[in-house]
Structure 1
């Protein structure tokens, strides 16, 4: 290790590319995993002051994998709270019926629509969040409310599931939420799902006693287990952020291995004479391998430390942008995560050792006679390992793309990315095969000039050097075309397909609210659908189904045969046996119910939209849109998230590879000082040398662009075929020529500047 440290210390420029690649890779992984570890479920603030919480029973999982809960009826919740209040150590057992409410200011609903679904609470449950009155009195009658930011005696406009209302403020609270009289909250809420306990003893022992009292009627949670009560909407936000972080870790690790391997291969090729000299004085192949591993380990340790520090410093700065982008919940902060930082550091070392593996094995076979070589000719640009690994990687990537249409929708994106990565690796390994023909073709018009001849011959004798420079360009262009092309192709087809599913020219849609209130849809010409959730018990098993309340049916209609009678539990916890009047495979939901029945048992239900058959009447929280504009709202919301993913991943890939291009060319050009000195002695000036190095850099960029573009186009065609099969219709392939041109131009500018910098520095030093 001491010899390795000396080599790295005295020749750090030769290891600069590896150092930067590892440092950036570790920084990406350290920052991403720190953010992910900091973004874990938390107990809702409105329940945080209750050491023990009781949740209504779970009956399984939903289609999305989240727990499916049934609600208690008001009577069940009251009875259970009375039993819990009798448990020793429990000072109070308080039910928390929550409901939808939004403040209306200047005629428009305010605040986060999704958060507003549970913004209303019974006043008695304010103690579960530790909230108190800072002024005024508690609400005691319907139409009264206590909230923060409003003075007692004032009146506020609100919107509930029933419709608009004017409430009188009786008290000012020191916490968020709108609190009404308990009887009013019970009337507006769809059942009860949480009972909070305030205690005077040790919470864990009281929780154990509470479990005995509750039995099968609920789930008792204490300590960190209360985090499971985080609202599903918040959990979904965390899930979106986690997908971006996972993608960053995956892409950052892949690019780091790719770049480190390319940099190490170039460094090993430049040290053939040095390694040959070591072999001439008796060094064995195993000693050469250990030397290169030791050198890389030293660089990895230094780069890992730098990357960990950079990632730890950068991660907290990303909290606010992630919250504003909707990828983390409000109030999210990043905390120090030593385990995540340590794992990133170890991963950096592993990545470095993987990257140097092929170069170390190849260097161990350098003959001692290479110490006497003066020529820069590479006798074998394509090694046996390249000939084996290149086609295998390409075949693996092709197999994944061929199988793409047969995979489920969730696996297709991962398979596309995996196939692209394998094809990019295969193209990089096989790059020396195509460099020769491309160089001969590209330099044909200038083959008789001095600069053209030097450019052609210098490139042909340094094929591996050019391939190492082309590799990061290949990666940047490949990911740029793949990411932007896939998004553009899907977005181009999504609007038309979704609009075709809305059988109305005009739609009355929510305006700043999570749905339309009962008052907003009353009297509107058209069909208003109120979604709800039904728990159906068949053969002793309970399953959740999406249901819709509509005026288009008089009885119960199912989309599949669920039996002649449905034993259901409604959103408010009540049960009933409903006779099925019809089975229609064209039903817009698994179960259709009369609207009045749904609203009777789910008073918090909100209509998704009204498919208009005539002019709409004005109403609070309602806007009229065309069918295309209506579906475009959801497409734009998803598009904003996708754009964030695209910018981050594309910026990561292109930025990383741009630095790799610069590092590789700086290393390659700096190692050719003797060659350029000889060229000057032969009469060439700095301008001649710059033309040669710039031409070689440009050829490397062209090679990487052609290979990366070809791979990504193959992947785009496979992705389009998969999308067409899923939609059942032909779609256009959108190729992002403009974005690709920008990426190529950036790579070209970086390459030319990096290749010219050592030449200019050497030229200035020689004067």
Structure 2
């Protein structure tokens, strides 16, 4: 069978081009997703401040939650922590007692802001900010003192050379440092640089240990660097330290892991990248199955005569299945091998796009190994096998006496199995839609139902393809009959070949319905978020800064007589256990900290029940969607983990409606601020007292004491939606990949279908049909395919979008942009037209007498 399959491939090279291209692109995308997935798991950067340490003990930057699955089994799930986990100083004594430990050095630090003499904030190297650390931790890293001396006096500071060049200072010059208070002036005592002379990944300054504790009170122990005794193995020492500490909140690192402990942004980005890569790869794999099924079904249908002849001379169904399986395996293997290099180019393009939208750092490194490529090739081959065996099922079941008759004409109607399957799927879709509308389900349940609905609807259309095509022809054929002979021919052809028409329509339905659902679900969410932001912010003025606002600024503003209320606004994330479609899962929720006294006056979250002003260190308020997701109400106890992993049990005192515009969880300002890395506010919201004079001048004067702080009349909606827009962009990227992938399939499918009609075109021309009439016939057939594909795809997307809109805004009308819909429908239509008309014009260049005698 293998030799016969190879001979078939050689003889039918044109027929396998479409399948090969689809498999190649699938392998490219899957290999790129595999590289992103591995890079996310192994995310890290070369250690700099910890490069000389043999072992690094740091906080475990993830929290693990245990819960019961639907089948009763115990599940452990981890969620990344966005804030640095602080360490207890007492851990150093336990580490020191481990055999093989020469010394333990605590790395104490915190993010700070430098200010030039002209009052301009310094963004730091690559805009990553600046961190202050204790001078005694210098021995843990790869730094050396290049000029000057160590910081000895209370007012001395040491900068890295790249930072000094950026601020144009030298030893002996003054520079101001600001943490959570007004800037304080320091004298530059010296400069440090990496031993290789390069700039550090993140700008750093060093202060004397005592000075750091006094000038940067929010500094905490970020890690313990362990220097091993001579002859001690770092890995064995790490194992011994783990045994002694026996603390799930701590992580012990060696080798490359030291970089993950040092650079928190890379670690968190890696966790996000794992989720994104899995989502993109899963969607593409799902689409690949549909796409390849459509392509291989068409290929098998074009080979009906060949398969019929094989059955007539005694070939068994098993032999035919093995032959087409061998063909698919060979095609998939070749496509996978050729597609993987293209995936390597694609992954670098994706990495740059992710970096441009702030999802990963600009210097995020990719982990390259053979594993993603091997996995992509294996999945490509398996996908090809599944698609071709499914498509060949009917062709291999017919009896030898029926084989040639079966091949002569296209079998009308649907088989009983397909009718039953399609009917069951449609009933299931109706049940999902009615359930979503009738029940007071939470947002995430409705979104889950919407995603399941669009998928099942597309499957139903694929199963009932000939029936759907026949319905479309009945509606559109009368219009074509009115356009003359070419219209009559087009209508007759579509009536006689509904299965071929279904193979062309299904990819269009998939592209339009899936793309519309994903894109307009995002636009609906963004519209609601923007509306809630504009309605919920009732403050007159907003103080903000790119690197954060000192918390004491809110206190000073609050003490002004012209101010009715003011609050610092700090943001972070919390982790909890939620429930989606009946199954528990760990969830990461956005959180904000505010002064309860300012709720209602500076910030209106539109409480549905409870008392928002009852917020304290032991209470929280949650949004309506979060309440449904977590199954909580007023008076219940929320079990949360704050951004640095600290567990919190708090009573729910209120449920509010404007969670999309703001955050899922609202808590006391000081409570949340204490568990963030930077210990700074995102902004300060100010509400003027009634009949008070204009505050603009007074607030501007106050803000001038905190360089970088600017005064605005309101929150910048675009800035507040930056994270949501980044998430939306990722979904647009998924849609773009799917549309590009489906586009190739549409062109392939239609090109294959058109190319198989070479003898038909020749017969028409020999019987007197003009070349222009054949082109007109195909143009009108394209109209039927495009109108049916785009129309059905649009109709299918309407049902899940109604569920999404109900979940987001409570109304059934989603935010559908005309330009966005035209882009989706227009691109799909253009590709469908190109896939039909280009092969048609190429075939018409062949002389009819040559084409009529050519083999199939």
Aligned match of 2:497 in 462, 479, 484? 462
Checking the alignment, whether the CA contact within 8 Å between 2:124 and 2:130 is kept in structure 1 is no
Aligned partner of 1:541 in structure 2 is none
Residues 81/358 of structure 1: CA separation in 2 closer, same or farther (3 Å cut): closer
SS at 1:512 equivalent: strand
1:259 to 2:342 alignment = no
Q: Per-residue deviation at 1:605? A: 2.7
Aligned partner of 1:198 in structure 2 is 227
SS at 1:153 equivalent: coil
Aligned match of 1:636 in 722, 727, 737? 722
Residues 601/30 of structure 1: CA separation in 2 closer, same or farther (3 Å cut): closer
Aligned partner of 2:815 in structure 1 is 734
Residues 359/530 of structure 1: CA separation in 2 closer, same or farther (3 Å cut): closer
Aligned partner of 1:539 in structure 2 is none
Checking the alignment, whether the CA contact within 8 Å between 1:262 and 1:468 is kept in structure 2 is yes
Checking the alignment, whether the CA contact within 8 Å between 1:109 and 1:159 is kept in structure 2 is no
Q: Per-residue deviation at 1:46? A: 2.9
SS at 1:139 equivalent: coil
SS at 1:336 equivalent: coil
1:674 to 2:754 alignment = no
Range that drifts further, 371-380 or 355-364: 371-380
SS at 1:97 equivalent: strand
Checking the alignment, whether the CA contact within 8 Å between 1:559 and 1:584 is kept in structure 2 is yes
1:423 to 2:457 alignment = yes
Structure number with higher helix proportion: 1
Aligned match of 2:824 in 733, 736, 743? 743
Q: Per-residue deviation at 1:424? A: 1.0
1:42 to 2:44 alignment = yes
1:758 to 2:839 alignment = yes
Task: In structure 1, list runs of 5 or more residues that go unmatched.
Answer: 536-543, 564-569, 575-579
Distance 1:206 1:263 in 2: 57
The alignment's C-alpha RMSD in Å is: 4.1
Residues 145/519 of structure 1: CA separation in 2 closer, same or farther (3 Å cut): farther
Aligned partner of 2:472 in structure 1 is 438
Range that drifts further, 695-704 or 364-373: 364-373
Distance 1:734 1:25 in 2: 31
Distance 1:441 1:294 in 2: 41
Aligned partner of 2:539 in structure 1 is 504
Aligned partner of 1:298 in structure 2 is 330
Residues 523/284 of structure 1: CA separation in 2 closer, same or farther (3 Å cut): closer
Aligned match of 2:187 in 162, 168, 173? 168
Distance 2:845 2:489 in 1: 22
Aligned partner of 2:486 in structure 1 is 451
Residues 397/146 of structure 1: CA separation in 2 closer, same or farther (3 Å cut): farther
1:59-99 CA distances to partner (integer Å, 9 max, x unpaired)? 976999446997456xxx2x654664565543432111111
Distance 2:246 2:24 in 1: 54
SS at 2:186 equivalent: strand
1:460-485 CA distances to partner (integer Å, 9 max, x unpaired)? 11111111111111111112211221
Checking the alignment, whether the CA contact within 8 Å between 1:394 and 1:427 is kept in structure 2 is no
SS at 1:96 equivalent: strand
Checking the alignment, whether the CA contact within 8 Å between 2:95 and 2:244 is kept in structure 1 is yes
Distance 1:31 1:573 in 2: 32
Distance 2:686 2:453 in 1: 46
Distance 1:483 1:534 in 2: 25
Aligned partner of 1:179 in structure 2 is 206
Q: Where does 1:343-742 land on structure 2 (aligned, <5 Å)?
A: 343-368=375-400, 377-404=409-436, 409-410=443-444, 412-447=446-481, 449-508=484-543, 510-519=544-553, 522-523=556-557, 525=563, 526-529=565-568, 558-559=618-619, 592=668, 605-614=679-688, 615=695, 616-618=699-701, 619=703, 620-627=707-714, 629-630=715-716, 632-646=718-732, 648-724=733-809, 729-730=810-811, 732-742=813-823
Distance 1:270 1:757 in 2: 20
Distance 1:305 1:443 in 2: 45
Q: Per-residue deviation at 1:741? A: 1.9
SS at 1:297 equivalent: helix
Distance 2:490 2:104 in 1: 83
1:724-754 CA distances to partner (integer Å, 9 max, x unpaired)? 4xxxx54742223322222222232222232
Aligned partner of 2:131 in structure 1 is 119
SS at 1:392 equivalent: helix
Residues 145/183 of structure 1: CA separation in 2 closer, same or farther (3 Å cut): same
Distance 1:658 1:488 in 2: 23
Range that drifts further, 224-233 or 100-109: 224-233
Aligned match of 1:275 in 307, 315, 320? 307
1:529-571 CA distances to partner (integer Å, 9 max, x unpaired)? 4769999xxxxxxxx99976788899966437999xxxxxx99
Distance 1:197 1:129 in 2: 12
Checking the alignment, whether the CA contact within 8 Å between 2:53 and 2:225 is kept in structure 1 is yes
Q: Per-residue deviation at 1:488? A: 1.2
Residues 533/489 of structure 1: CA separation in 2 closer, same or farther (3 Å cut): closer
Distance 2:14 2:250 in 1: 62
Q: Per-residue deviation at 1:21? A: 1.4
Q: Per-residue deviation at 1:5? A: 0.7
Range that drifts further, 414-423 or 583-592: 583-592
Aligned partner of 1:540 in structure 2 is none
Residues 483/269 of structure 1: CA separation in 2 closer, same or farther (3 Å cut): same
Aligned partner of 1:98 in structure 2 is 109
Aligned match of 2:178 in 147, 159, 162? 159
Q: Per-residue deviation at 1:413? A: 4.1
Distance 1:678 1:599 in 2: 79
Distance 1:758 1:586 in 2: 61
Q: Per-residue deviation at 1:9? A: 1.4
1:144-194 CA distances to partner (integer Å, 9 max, x unpaired)? 222222132233344321122333222222133121121122231343242
Residues 702/66 of structure 1: CA separation in 2 closer, same or farther (3 Å cut): same
Checking the alignment, whether the CA contact within 8 Å between 1:91 and 1:197 is kept in structure 2 is yes
Range that drifts further, 676-685 or 745-754: 745-754
Distance 1:477 1:518 in 2: 53
Checking the alignment, whether the CA contact within 8 Å between 1:135 and 1:171 is kept in structure 2 is yes
Checking the alignment, whether the CA contact within 8 Å between 2:52 and 2:140 is kept in structure 1 is yes
SS at 1:471 equivalent: helix
Q: Per-residue deviation at 1:766? A: 1.5
Residues 437/45 of structure 1: CA separation in 2 closer, same or farther (3 Å cut): same
Q: Per-residue deviation at 1:700? A: 0.9
Give me the TM-score of the superposition, normalised by structure 1.
0.85
Checking the alignment, whether the CA contact within 8 Å between 2:110 and 2:131 is kept in structure 1 is yes
Distance 2:99 2:471 in 1: 86
Distance 2:467 2:675 in 1: 71
Checking the alignment, whether the CA contact within 8 Å between 2:778 and 2:837 is kept in structure 1 is yes
Distance 2:572 2:737 in 1: 42
Aligned partner of 2:355 in structure 1 is 323
Checking the alignment, whether the CA contact within 8 Å between 2:55 and 2:226 is kept in structure 1 is yes
